[in-house]
Structure 1
Protein backbone atom coordinates (compact mmCIF):
# COMPACT_ATOMS: atom_id res chain seq x y z
CA UNK A 1 0.00 0.00 0.00
CA UNK A 2 3.03 2.27 -0.35
CA UNK A 3 1.24 4.16 -3.15
CA UNK A 4 -1.24 5.44 -0.57
CA UNK A 5 -0.43 8.61 1.34
CA UNK A 6 -1.80 10.74 4.16
CA UNK A 7 -3.15 14.08 2.87
CA UNK A 8 -4.96 16.22 5.44
CA UNK A 9 -7.35 16.50 8.35
CA UNK A 10 -10.56 18.51 8.03
CA UNK A 11 -11.48 20.97 10.79
CA UNK A 12 -14.73 22.93 11.00
CA UNK A 13 -14.02 26.50 12.09
CA UNK A 14 -16.42 29.13 13.37
CA UNK A 15 -14.06 32.13 13.34
CA UNK A 16 -11.85 32.34 10.26
CA UNK A 17 -9.87 35.37 11.39
CA UNK A 18 -8.78 33.92 14.75
CA UNK A 19 -8.19 30.53 13.15
CA UNK A 20 -6.05 31.98 10.36
CA UNK A 21 -4.00 33.88 12.95
CA UNK A 22 -3.30 30.66 14.85
CA UNK A 23 -2.15 28.69 11.82
CA UNK A 24 -0.18 31.52 10.23
CA UNK A 25 1.24 33.43 13.19
CA UNK A 26 1.58 30.76 15.86
CA UNK A 27 2.25 27.53 13.96
CA UNK A 28 4.00 29.27 11.07
CA UNK A 29 2.00 27.55 8.33
CA UNK A 30 1.05 29.24 5.07
CA UNK A 31 -2.14 29.38 3.06
CA UNK A 32 -1.77 26.90 0.20
CA UNK A 33 -5.13 27.51 -1.52
CA UNK A 34 -8.53 28.98 -0.74
CA UNK A 35 -11.90 28.36 -2.40
CA UNK A 36 -15.40 29.74 -1.89
CA UNK A 37 -18.54 27.70 -2.62
CA UNK A 38 -22.16 28.82 -2.91
CA UNK A 39 -23.69 25.48 -1.90
CA UNK A 40 -22.77 22.41 0.14
CA UNK A 41 -20.35 19.73 -1.00
CA UNK A 42 -21.63 16.49 -2.59
CA UNK A 43 -19.30 14.58 -0.28
CA UNK A 44 -20.27 16.71 2.77
CA UNK A 45 -16.73 18.12 3.04
CA UNK A 46 -18.21 21.05 5.00
CA UNK A 47 -20.47 18.86 7.13
CA UNK A 48 -24.26 18.50 6.77
CA UNK A 49 -24.79 22.08 5.59
CA UNK A 50 -26.22 23.27 2.28
CA UNK A 51 -25.31 26.96 2.37
CA UNK A 52 -22.35 29.08 1.42
CA UNK A 53 -19.01 27.84 2.73
CA UNK A 54 -15.28 28.06 2.15
CA UNK A 55 -12.31 25.71 2.16
CA UNK A 56 -8.80 26.82 3.11
CA UNK A 57 -5.78 24.50 2.93
CA UNK A 58 -2.92 25.43 5.26
CA UNK A 59 0.40 23.70 5.85
CA UNK A 60 4.16 23.92 6.08
CA UNK A 61 4.62 23.13 2.39
CA UNK A 62 2.98 21.77 -0.78
CA UNK A 63 0.33 19.09 -0.44
CA UNK A 64 2.42 16.78 -2.65
CA UNK A 65 4.73 16.02 0.26
CA UNK A 66 3.21 17.61 3.38
CA UNK A 67 0.29 16.68 5.62
CA UNK A 68 -1.91 19.77 5.78
CA UNK A 69 -5.11 21.08 7.40
CA UNK A 70 -8.37 21.71 5.57
CA UNK A 71 -10.35 24.44 7.30
CA UNK A 72 -14.04 24.48 6.39
CA UNK A 73 -16.10 27.53 7.29
CA UNK A 74 -19.90 27.66 7.04
CA UNK A 75 -21.03 31.28 6.86
CA UNK A 76 -24.03 30.86 9.15
CA UNK A 77 -22.34 28.79 11.87
CA UNK A 78 -20.23 30.48 14.53
CA UNK A 79 -19.50 27.58 16.86
CA UNK A 80 -19.31 23.79 16.91
CA UNK A 81 -19.53 21.41 19.84
CA UNK A 82 -16.27 19.58 20.37
CA UNK A 83 -16.38 15.87 21.08
CA UNK A 84 -13.59 13.55 22.21
CA UNK A 85 -12.97 12.04 18.77
CA UNK A 86 -10.00 14.22 17.77
CA UNK A 87 -7.32 13.74 20.43
CA UNK A 88 -4.71 16.04 18.93
CA UNK A 89 -2.12 16.68 16.26
CA UNK A 90 1.62 16.60 17.00
CA UNK A 91 4.18 18.67 15.13
CA UNK A 92 7.86 19.43 15.65
CA UNK A 93 8.71 23.14 15.69
CA UNK A 94 10.58 25.13 18.31
CA UNK A 95 9.65 28.14 16.17
CA UNK A 96 5.95 27.52 16.85
CA UNK A 97 6.66 27.32 20.59
CA UNK A 98 8.59 30.58 20.35
CA UNK A 99 5.81 32.22 18.32
CA UNK A 100 3.18 31.20 20.88
CA UNK A 101 5.21 32.67 23.74
CA UNK A 102 5.90 35.88 21.86
CA UNK A 103 2.23 36.35 20.95
CA UNK A 104 0.94 35.36 24.38
CA UNK A 105 -0.88 32.31 23.00
CA UNK A 106 -1.60 29.98 25.95
CA UNK A 107 0.76 27.01 26.23
CA UNK A 108 0.71 24.24 28.80
CA UNK A 109 3.34 21.58 29.38
CA UNK A 110 2.32 18.16 28.08
CA UNK A 111 5.55 16.24 28.64
CA UNK A 112 9.28 16.74 28.37
CA UNK A 113 9.82 19.35 25.65
CA UNK A 114 6.19 19.02 24.59
CA UNK A 115 3.60 21.81 24.80
CA UNK A 116 -0.14 21.91 24.23
CA UNK A 117 -1.66 24.80 22.30
CA UNK A 118 -5.36 24.99 21.48
CA UNK A 119 -6.55 26.30 18.15
CA UNK A 120 -9.78 28.35 18.10
CA UNK A 121 -12.62 25.89 18.58
CA UNK A 122 -10.63 23.89 21.13
CA UNK A 123 -8.66 21.65 18.74
CA UNK A 124 -5.49 20.40 20.44
CA UNK A 125 -2.03 20.80 18.92
CA UNK A 126 1.03 19.31 20.58
CA UNK A 127 4.21 21.23 19.82
CA UNK A 128 7.53 19.42 20.16
CA UNK A 129 10.15 21.98 21.13
CA UNK A 130 12.83 20.87 18.65
CA UNK A 131 14.16 22.45 15.51
CA UNK A 132 11.66 22.25 12.66
CA UNK A 133 12.78 19.55 10.19
CA UNK A 134 13.29 20.34 6.52
CA UNK A 135 10.73 17.66 5.69
CA UNK A 136 7.18 17.84 6.99
CA UNK A 137 7.05 18.87 10.70
CA UNK A 138 3.61 17.25 11.17
CA UNK A 139 4.22 13.90 12.86
CA UNK A 140 0.88 12.36 13.75
CA UNK A 141 -2.85 12.79 14.17
CA UNK A 142 -4.42 11.04 17.17
CA UNK A 143 -8.00 9.73 17.08
CA UNK A 144 -9.97 8.19 19.93
CA UNK A 145 -11.26 4.62 19.63
CA UNK A 146 -13.48 2.51 21.85
CA UNK A 147 -11.95 -0.87 20.94
CA UNK A 148 -8.26 -0.73 20.04
CA UNK A 149 -8.02 -4.26 18.66
CA UNK A 150 -11.05 -3.81 16.42
CA UNK A 151 -9.85 -0.43 15.12
CA UNK A 152 -6.30 -1.68 14.54
CA UNK A 153 -7.73 -4.52 12.45
CA UNK A 154 -9.83 -2.08 10.42
CA UNK A 155 -7.00 0.35 9.66
CA UNK A 156 -4.28 -2.25 9.10
CA UNK A 157 -6.01 -5.30 7.63
CA UNK A 158 -8.73 -3.51 5.62
CA UNK A 159 -7.11 -0.18 4.74
CA UNK A 160 -3.57 -1.51 4.48
CA UNK A 161 -1.77 0.65 7.02
CA UNK A 162 1.42 -0.65 8.60
CA UNK A 163 1.59 -0.90 12.39
CA UNK A 164 4.71 0.97 13.53
CA UNK A 165 4.33 0.95 17.27
CA UNK A 166 2.11 -0.40 20.04
CA UNK A 167 2.20 1.23 23.47
CA UNK A 168 0.27 -0.78 26.05
CA UNK A 169 0.93 1.75 28.83
CA UNK A 170 -0.70 4.55 26.84
CA UNK A 171 -3.23 2.28 25.09
CA UNK A 172 -2.13 3.53 21.68
CA UNK A 173 -1.22 2.09 18.28
CA UNK A 174 0.74 4.06 15.67
CA UNK A 175 0.04 3.29 12.00
CA UNK A 176 0.92 4.75 8.63
CA UNK A 177 1.29 4.25 4.89
CA UNK A 178 5.00 5.13 4.94
CA UNK A 179 7.84 5.87 7.33
CA UNK A 180 8.22 9.44 6.04
CA UNK A 181 4.51 10.28 6.15
CA UNK A 182 2.31 11.71 8.88
CA UNK A 183 1.16 8.80 11.05
CA UNK A 184 -2.22 7.94 12.50
CA UNK A 185 -2.33 7.22 16.23
CA UNK A 186 -5.32 5.35 17.65
CA UNK A 187 -5.93 5.88 21.36
CA UNK A 188 -8.22 3.67 23.41
CA UNK A 189 -10.29 5.97 25.65
CA UNK A 190 -12.21 3.39 27.66
CA UNK A 191 -15.64 4.57 26.58
CA UNK A 192 -17.74 5.77 23.67
CA UNK A 193 -16.35 8.10 21.03
CA UNK A 194 -18.32 11.36 20.84
CA UNK A 195 -17.96 13.27 17.57
CA UNK A 196 -19.86 16.36 18.69
CA UNK A 197 -20.82 18.65 15.82
CA UNK A 198 -17.19 19.60 15.19
CA UNK A 199 -16.39 16.11 13.87
CA UNK A 200 -13.56 16.07 11.38
CA UNK A 201 -12.37 13.85 8.57
CA UNK A 202 -9.01 12.38 7.66
CA UNK A 203 -8.05 12.13 3.99
CA UNK A 204 -5.72 9.85 2.07
CA UNK A 205 -4.92 9.40 -1.60
CA UNK A 206 -4.42 6.25 -3.62
CA UNK A 207 -4.09 5.44 -7.32
CA UNK A 208 -7.45 6.08 -8.96
CA UNK A 209 -7.89 2.45 -9.99
CA UNK A 210 -7.84 1.38 -6.31
CA UNK A 211 -10.97 3.37 -5.39
CA UNK A 212 -13.51 0.81 -6.69
CA UNK A 213 -11.53 -1.94 -4.91
CA UNK A 214 -11.67 -0.06 -1.60
CA UNK A 215 -15.42 0.42 -1.98
CA UNK A 216 -15.95 -3.25 -2.93
CA UNK A 217 -13.90 -4.48 0.04
CA UNK A 218 -15.90 -2.36 2.47
CA UNK A 219 -19.17 -3.69 1.03
CA UNK A 220 -17.87 -7.27 1.29
CA UNK A 221 -16.76 -6.74 4.91
CA UNK A 222 -20.03 -5.04 5.88
CA UNK A 223 -18.30 -1.77 6.75
CA UNK A 224 -19.82 1.70 6.46
CA UNK A 225 -19.64 3.66 3.21
CA UNK A 226 -20.84 7.22 3.76
CA UNK A 227 -20.43 8.39 0.15
CA UNK A 228 -20.10 5.80 -2.62
CA UNK A 229 -17.55 6.57 -5.33
CA UNK A 230 -18.37 10.04 -6.67
CA UNK A 231 -16.73 12.72 -8.81
CA UNK A 232 -16.25 16.16 -7.25
CA UNK A 233 -15.85 19.27 -9.36
CA UNK A 234 -13.92 22.39 -8.40
CA UNK A 235 -14.51 25.18 -10.97
CA UNK A 236 -11.45 25.66 -13.15
CA UNK A 237 -9.60 22.75 -11.55
CA UNK A 238 -9.28 18.98 -11.88
CA UNK A 239 -12.26 16.74 -11.15
CA UNK A 240 -11.39 14.21 -8.46
CA UNK A 241 -12.99 10.92 -7.54
CA UNK A 242 -13.56 10.10 -3.88
CA UNK A 243 -15.11 7.46 -1.68
CA UNK A 244 -15.96 8.33 1.93
CA UNK A 245 -15.88 5.63 4.61
CA UNK A 246 -16.49 5.44 8.36
CA UNK A 247 -14.45 3.26 10.69
CA UNK A 248 -15.98 1.27 13.59
CA UNK A 249 -16.14 4.45 15.73
CA UNK A 250 -17.59 6.53 12.86
CA UNK A 251 -14.43 8.49 12.12
CA UNK A 252 -14.87 9.80 8.59
CA UNK A 253 -12.22 8.70 6.08
CA UNK A 254 -11.84 10.08 2.57
CA UNK A 255 -9.92 8.27 -0.15
CA UNK A 256 -9.25 10.33 -3.27
CA UNK A 257 -7.68 9.45 -6.63
CA UNK A 258 -4.06 10.56 -6.39
CA UNK A 259 -3.42 11.60 -9.98
CA UNK A 260 -6.21 14.19 -10.22
CA UNK A 261 -5.71 15.29 -6.62
CA UNK A 262 -2.07 16.23 -7.27
CA UNK A 263 -3.31 18.51 -10.04
CA UNK A 264 -6.15 19.93 -7.92
CA UNK A 265 -3.94 20.55 -4.89
CA UNK A 266 -1.17 22.57 -6.50
CA UNK A 267 -0.23 25.59 -4.39
CA UNK A 268 -2.12 28.70 -5.46
CA UNK A 269 0.16 31.76 -5.20
CA UNK A 270 -3.00 33.84 -4.66
CA UNK A 271 -4.27 31.65 -1.79
CA UNK A 272 -3.18 34.07 0.92
CA UNK A 273 -4.81 37.09 -0.70
CA UNK A 274 -7.97 35.13 -1.60
CA UNK A 275 -8.50 34.19 2.05
CA UNK A 276 -7.82 37.74 3.26
CA UNK A 277 -10.20 39.13 0.64
CA UNK A 278 -12.93 36.64 1.61
CA UNK A 279 -12.55 37.47 5.31
CA UNK A 280 -12.72 41.22 4.57
CA UNK A 281 -15.86 40.73 2.47
CA UNK A 282 -17.56 38.47 5.01
CA UNK A 283 -20.20 40.68 6.63
CA UNK A 284 -22.06 37.78 8.26
CA UNK A 285 -21.05 38.82 11.79
CA UNK A 286 -22.31 42.36 11.13
CA UNK A 287 -25.58 41.04 9.67
CA UNK A 288 -26.28 38.88 12.72
CA UNK A 289 -25.40 41.74 15.08
CA UNK A 290 -27.61 44.20 13.16
CA UNK A 291 -30.57 41.83 13.34
CA UNK A 292 -29.85 41.14 17.02
CA UNK A 293 -29.26 37.47 16.31
CA UNK A 294 -26.45 35.05 16.98
CA UNK A 295 -24.78 32.81 14.46
CA UNK A 296 -25.93 29.23 14.82
CA UNK A 297 -24.23 26.98 17.31
CA UNK A 298 -24.07 23.66 15.47
Structure 2
Protein backbone atom coordinates (compact mmCIF):
# COMPACT_ATOMS: atom_id res chain seq x y z
CA UNK A 1 0.00 0.00 0.00
CA UNK A 2 1.78 3.04 -1.32
CA UNK A 3 -0.11 5.33 1.06
CA UNK A 4 1.63 3.76 4.08
CA UNK A 5 5.17 4.50 5.20
CA UNK A 6 7.62 3.32 7.84
CA UNK A 7 8.25 5.95 10.54
CA UNK A 8 10.46 4.88 13.42
CA UNK A 9 11.55 2.18 15.85
CA UNK A 10 11.23 2.72 19.60
CA UNK A 11 14.11 1.89 21.97
CA UNK A 12 13.99 2.04 25.75
CA UNK A 13 17.24 3.50 27.09
CA UNK A 14 18.70 3.63 30.57
CA UNK A 15 21.59 6.06 30.08
CA UNK A 16 20.63 9.20 28.15
CA UNK A 17 24.09 10.77 28.35
CA UNK A 18 25.93 7.86 26.72
CA UNK A 19 23.08 7.20 24.30
CA UNK A 20 22.96 10.81 23.09
CA UNK A 21 26.73 10.73 22.57
CA UNK A 22 26.47 7.49 20.56
CA UNK A 23 23.78 8.80 18.21
CA UNK A 24 25.47 12.16 17.74
CA UNK A 25 29.14 11.22 17.54
CA UNK A 26 29.10 7.66 16.18
CA UNK A 27 25.97 7.33 14.05
CA UNK A 28 26.12 11.02 13.14
CA UNK A 29 22.37 11.50 13.54
CA UNK A 30 20.58 14.71 14.52
CA UNK A 31 18.06 15.13 17.30
CA UNK A 32 14.81 16.19 15.68
CA UNK A 33 12.44 16.48 18.65
CA UNK A 34 12.65 16.15 22.42
CA UNK A 35 9.77 16.11 24.90
CA UNK A 36 9.50 15.57 28.65
CA UNK A 37 6.38 14.02 30.22
CA UNK A 38 5.22 13.85 33.82
CA UNK A 39 3.18 10.67 33.45
CA UNK A 40 3.15 7.57 31.26
CA UNK A 41 1.78 7.51 27.72
CA UNK A 42 -1.83 6.37 27.20
CA UNK A 43 -0.58 4.13 24.40
CA UNK A 44 2.35 2.81 26.49
CA UNK A 45 4.92 4.45 24.18
CA UNK A 46 7.37 4.35 27.09
CA UNK A 47 6.44 0.80 28.08
CA UNK A 48 4.30 -0.28 31.05
CA UNK A 49 5.43 2.59 33.28
CA UNK A 50 3.34 5.37 34.78
CA UNK A 51 6.02 7.79 35.94
CA UNK A 52 8.05 10.60 34.47
CA UNK A 53 9.71 9.93 31.11
CA UNK A 54 11.13 11.59 28.01
CA UNK A 55 10.98 10.98 24.28
CA UNK A 56 13.69 11.94 21.78
CA UNK A 57 13.43 11.50 18.02
CA UNK A 58 16.78 11.16 16.24
CA UNK A 59 17.69 10.49 12.61
CA UNK A 60 19.43 11.64 9.44
CA UNK A 61 16.72 14.04 8.34
CA UNK A 62 13.09 15.12 8.75
CA UNK A 63 10.58 12.44 9.67
CA UNK A 64 8.56 13.20 6.53
CA UNK A 65 11.10 11.31 4.43
CA UNK A 66 13.51 9.57 6.84
CA UNK A 67 13.15 6.54 9.08
CA UNK A 68 14.20 7.61 12.57
CA UNK A 69 14.67 6.25 16.07
CA UNK A 70 12.54 7.09 19.08
CA UNK A 71 14.44 6.96 22.37
CA UNK A 72 12.27 6.61 25.47
CA UNK A 73 13.81 7.20 28.88
CA UNK A 74 12.00 6.32 32.10
CA UNK A 75 13.39 8.26 35.04
CA UNK A 76 14.77 5.92 37.67
CA UNK A 77 15.30 2.93 35.39
CA UNK A 78 18.92 2.32 34.48
CA UNK A 79 18.78 -0.77 32.28
CA UNK A 80 16.57 -3.12 30.34
CA UNK A 81 17.08 -6.76 29.42
CA UNK A 82 17.48 -7.27 25.67
CA UNK A 83 15.77 -10.29 24.13
CA UNK A 84 16.07 -11.87 20.68
CA UNK A 85 13.21 -9.86 19.15
CA UNK A 86 15.30 -6.98 17.83
CA UNK A 87 18.17 -8.12 15.61
CA UNK A 88 19.54 -4.80 14.34
CA UNK A 89 19.23 -1.76 12.08
CA UNK A 90 21.20 -1.61 8.82
CA UNK A 91 22.69 1.74 7.75
CA UNK A 92 24.64 2.55 4.58
CA UNK A 93 27.23 5.25 5.34
CA UNK A 94 30.95 5.68 4.88
CA UNK A 95 30.78 8.60 7.31
CA UNK A 96 29.61 6.31 10.13
CA UNK A 97 32.58 4.01 9.41
CA UNK A 98 34.86 7.04 9.81
CA UNK A 99 33.10 8.04 13.04
CA UNK A 100 33.57 4.54 14.46
CA UNK A 101 37.30 4.74 13.82
CA UNK A 102 37.58 8.33 15.07
CA UNK A 103 35.77 7.58 18.36
CA UNK A 104 37.42 4.18 18.88
CA UNK A 105 34.00 2.58 19.14
CA UNK A 106 34.26 -1.21 19.61
CA UNK A 107 33.25 -2.92 16.39
CA UNK A 108 33.46 -6.20 14.51
CA UNK A 109 33.76 -6.51 10.73
CA UNK A 110 32.50 -9.49 8.76
CA UNK A 111 31.96 -9.70 5.00
CA UNK A 112 32.45 -5.94 4.75
CA UNK A 113 29.71 -5.14 7.28
CA UNK A 114 30.69 -3.36 10.50
CA UNK A 115 28.66 -4.22 13.60
CA UNK A 116 28.46 -1.86 16.56
CA UNK A 117 26.33 -1.94 19.69
CA UNK A 118 24.69 1.10 21.24
CA UNK A 119 24.53 1.77 24.99
CA UNK A 120 21.72 -0.51 26.09
CA UNK A 121 22.72 -3.36 23.79
CA UNK A 122 21.06 -2.58 20.43
CA UNK A 123 22.95 -3.65 17.29
CA UNK A 124 23.62 -1.53 14.20
CA UNK A 125 25.05 -2.95 10.97
CA UNK A 126 27.01 -0.38 8.96
CA UNK A 127 27.52 -0.91 5.23
CA UNK A 128 30.46 1.00 3.65
CA UNK A 129 28.48 2.79 0.95
CA UNK A 130 26.88 6.18 0.59
CA UNK A 131 23.45 6.22 -1.03
CA UNK A 132 20.96 8.85 -2.12
CA UNK A 133 18.27 9.63 0.41
CA UNK A 134 17.93 8.06 3.84
CA UNK A 135 20.96 5.98 4.95
CA UNK A 136 18.71 3.76 7.12
CA UNK A 137 18.08 0.68 4.98
CA UNK A 138 16.17 -1.77 7.13
CA UNK A 139 15.08 -2.84 10.58
CA UNK A 140 15.80 -6.50 11.31
CA UNK A 141 13.58 -8.49 13.67
CA UNK A 142 13.45 -12.12 14.75
CA UNK A 143 10.48 -14.42 14.19
CA UNK A 144 9.63 -17.97 15.18
CA UNK A 145 7.72 -19.05 12.07
CA UNK A 146 8.52 -17.30 8.81
CA UNK A 147 5.36 -18.38 6.96
CA UNK A 148 3.10 -17.08 9.74
CA UNK A 149 5.03 -13.81 9.78
CA UNK A 150 4.81 -13.36 6.00
CA UNK A 151 1.07 -14.06 6.03
CA UNK A 152 0.44 -11.47 8.75
CA UNK A 153 2.54 -8.67 7.32
CA UNK A 154 1.50 -9.14 3.67
CA UNK A 155 -2.11 -10.32 3.79
CA UNK A 156 -3.23 -8.31 6.82
CA UNK A 157 -0.89 -5.29 6.77
CA UNK A 158 -0.47 -5.04 3.00
CA UNK A 159 3.33 -5.15 2.79
CA UNK A 160 5.16 -6.17 -0.37
CA UNK A 161 7.81 -8.91 -0.44
CA UNK A 162 11.11 -7.56 -1.78
CA UNK A 163 13.22 -10.69 -1.29
CA UNK A 164 12.88 -14.03 0.42
CA UNK A 165 15.02 -17.02 1.39
CA UNK A 166 14.22 -20.15 3.36
CA UNK A 167 14.97 -18.35 6.63
CA UNK A 168 14.36 -14.66 5.96
CA UNK A 169 12.13 -12.16 4.19
CA UNK A 170 12.47 -8.45 3.38
CA UNK A 171 9.19 -6.52 3.36
CA UNK A 172 8.20 -2.92 2.75
CA UNK A 173 5.62 -0.40 1.62
CA UNK A 174 7.84 1.57 -0.74
CA UNK A 175 10.80 0.83 -2.99
CA UNK A 176 12.91 3.73 -1.71
CA UNK A 177 12.00 3.65 1.99
CA UNK A 178 13.25 1.70 4.99
CA UNK A 179 12.42 -2.01 4.78
CA UNK A 180 11.60 -4.57 7.44
CA UNK A 181 13.51 -7.86 7.48
CA UNK A 182 12.46 -10.91 9.49
CA UNK A 183 14.87 -13.72 10.28
CA UNK A 184 13.42 -17.08 11.32
CA UNK A 185 15.31 -17.94 14.51
CA UNK A 186 13.62 -21.31 14.96
CA UNK A 187 12.95 -20.57 18.63
CA UNK A 188 10.28 -18.60 20.52
CA UNK A 189 10.70 -14.83 20.44
CA UNK A 190 11.72 -13.32 23.78
CA UNK A 191 10.95 -9.60 24.05
CA UNK A 192 12.40 -9.37 27.58
CA UNK A 193 12.01 -5.91 29.19
CA UNK A 194 13.69 -3.92 26.39
CA UNK A 195 10.96 -4.79 23.89
CA UNK A 196 10.60 -2.18 21.18
CA UNK A 197 7.88 -1.02 18.81
CA UNK A 198 7.85 -0.20 15.10
CA UNK A 199 5.63 2.60 13.82
CA UNK A 200 4.00 3.23 10.45
CA UNK A 201 1.82 6.02 9.10
CA UNK A 202 -1.30 5.58 7.04
CA UNK A 203 -4.17 7.87 6.05
CA UNK A 204 -6.34 8.50 9.10
CA UNK A 205 -9.43 7.05 7.44
CA UNK A 206 -7.68 3.65 7.14
CA UNK A 207 -7.32 3.22 10.90
CA UNK A 208 -10.90 2.11 11.75
CA UNK A 209 -10.87 -0.44 8.92
CA UNK A 210 -7.47 -1.75 10.02
CA UNK A 211 -8.73 -2.20 13.57
CA UNK A 212 -11.88 -3.94 12.32
CA UNK A 213 -9.82 -6.28 10.13
CA UNK A 214 -7.72 -7.32 13.11
CA UNK A 215 -10.86 -7.97 15.17
CA UNK A 216 -12.37 -10.11 12.41
CA UNK A 217 -9.11 -12.06 12.06
CA UNK A 218 -8.88 -12.60 15.84
CA UNK A 219 -5.54 -10.82 15.92
CA UNK A 220 -4.16 -9.06 18.98
CA UNK A 221 -4.94 -5.36 19.42
CA UNK A 222 -2.81 -3.87 22.20
CA UNK A 223 -4.39 -0.39 22.11
CA UNK A 224 -7.71 0.13 20.31
CA UNK A 225 -8.04 3.26 18.20
CA UNK A 226 -7.21 6.20 20.45
CA UNK A 227 -6.40 9.90 20.18
CA UNK A 228 -3.11 11.07 21.70
CA UNK A 229 -2.63 14.72 22.62
CA UNK A 230 0.69 16.53 22.61
CA UNK A 231 0.26 19.91 24.35
CA UNK A 232 0.54 22.74 21.83
CA UNK A 233 0.83 20.32 18.92
CA UNK A 234 -1.37 18.09 16.79
CA UNK A 235 -3.62 15.36 18.16
CA UNK A 236 -2.91 12.05 16.44
CA UNK A 237 -4.95 8.88 16.21
CA UNK A 238 -3.23 5.54 16.67
CA UNK A 239 -4.02 1.86 16.87
CA UNK A 240 -1.41 -0.52 18.26
CA UNK A 241 -1.24 -4.15 17.20
CA UNK A 242 0.91 -7.20 17.89
CA UNK A 243 1.98 -9.72 15.25
CA UNK A 244 2.07 -13.51 15.85
CA UNK A 245 5.39 -13.18 17.71
CA UNK A 246 4.23 -10.25 19.82
CA UNK A 247 6.13 -7.53 17.95
CA UNK A 248 4.39 -4.24 18.76
CA UNK A 249 3.18 -2.29 15.72
CA UNK A 250 1.84 1.26 15.89
CA UNK A 251 -0.21 2.71 13.04
CA UNK A 252 -0.74 6.47 13.23
CA UNK A 253 -2.84 8.82 11.15
CA UNK A 254 -0.47 10.35 8.62
CA UNK A 255 -2.07 13.77 8.22
CA UNK A 256 -1.79 14.80 11.88
CA UNK A 257 1.52 13.01 12.35
CA UNK A 258 3.17 15.09 9.60
CA UNK A 259 2.14 18.19 11.52
CA UNK A 260 3.26 16.75 14.87
CA UNK A 261 6.63 15.54 13.58
CA UNK A 262 8.04 18.78 12.22
CA UNK A 263 11.71 19.23 13.12
CA UNK A 264 12.11 21.31 16.26
CA UNK A 265 15.19 23.57 15.99
CA UNK A 266 15.33 23.53 19.80
CA UNK A 267 15.56 19.73 20.00
CA UNK A 268 19.25 19.62 20.89
CA UNK A 269 18.98 22.32 23.54
CA UNK A 270 15.86 20.73 25.04
CA UNK A 271 17.62 17.37 25.28
CA UNK A 272 20.73 18.97 26.79
CA UNK A 273 18.55 20.79 29.31
CA UNK A 274 16.88 17.50 30.24
CA UNK A 275 20.29 15.85 30.66
CA UNK A 276 21.53 18.72 32.81
CA UNK A 277 18.47 18.72 35.05
CA UNK A 278 18.49 14.96 35.56
CA UNK A 279 20.80 14.53 38.56
CA UNK A 280 19.89 10.90 39.14
CA UNK A 281 23.18 9.44 37.87
CA UNK A 282 25.13 11.67 40.23
CA UNK A 283 22.87 10.80 43.17
CA UNK A 284 23.18 7.04 42.63
CA UNK A 285 26.96 7.30 42.19
CA UNK A 286 27.31 9.38 45.34
CA UNK A 287 25.37 6.80 47.36
CA UNK A 288 27.10 3.81 45.77
CA UNK A 289 23.84 2.53 44.38
CA UNK A 290 22.62 1.46 40.96
CA UNK A 291 19.44 2.47 39.20
CA UNK A 292 16.76 -0.17 39.05
CA UNK A 293 16.73 -2.65 36.18
CA UNK A 294 13.40 -2.92 34.38
Residues in 1 aligned to 2:113 and 2:36: alpha-carbon distance in whole angstroms: 36
Mapped pair 1:90 → 2:90: yes
- What does residue 130 of structure 1 align with? 129
Deviations 1:157-204 (A, max 9, x none): 000000110022xx1100000101100001100101000100000000
State the partner residue of 1:72: 72
Match of 1:263 in 2: 259
| Correspondent of 1:222 among 218, 237, 240 | 218
Q: Deviations over 1:36-55 (max 9, x none)?
A: 00000000000001110000
RMSD of Structure 2 on Structure 1 (CA): 0.9
Partner of 2:146: 148
**Secondary structure in structure 2 of the residue aligned to 1:40:** coil
One of 160, 163, 171 as aligned partner of 2:161: 163
Query: Which of 235, 238, 245 in structure 1 is aligned with 2:241?
Result: 245
CA distances 1:30-88 after superposition (whole Å, capped 9, x unpaired)? 00000000000000000001110000000000000000000000011000000000000
TM-score, reference length from structure 1: 0.97
Give 3-state SS (helix, strand or coil) of 1:64's partner: coil
Q: Which runs of 4+ in 1 moved over 4 A?
A: none
SS of aligned partner of 1:9: strand
For 1:172 and 1:54, the matched residues in 2 are separated by 34
Q: Distance in 1 between matches of 2:57 and 2:262?
A: 11
Match of residue 171, structure 2, among 155, 172, 175: 175
- Tell me what 2:190 maps to: 194
5+ residue gaps, structure 1: none
Name the count of aligned residue pairs.
294
Shift of 1:289: 3.6
TM-score by length of 2: 0.98
In structure 2, how many angstroms separate the alpha carbons of the residues matched to 1:143 and 1:114?
18
Deviations 1:261-289 (A, max 9, x none): 00000000000110011101101122334
CA distance in 2, matches of 1:24, 1:51: 27
1: distance between equivalents of 2:204 and 2:132? 30
Q: Mind listing any 5+ residue stretches in structure 2 that lack a counterpart?
A: none
Q: State the Cα deviation string for residues 106-147 of structure 1 (Å, max 9, x = none).
A: 110132x2110101111000000112x230000000110000
Other-structure match for 1:30: 30
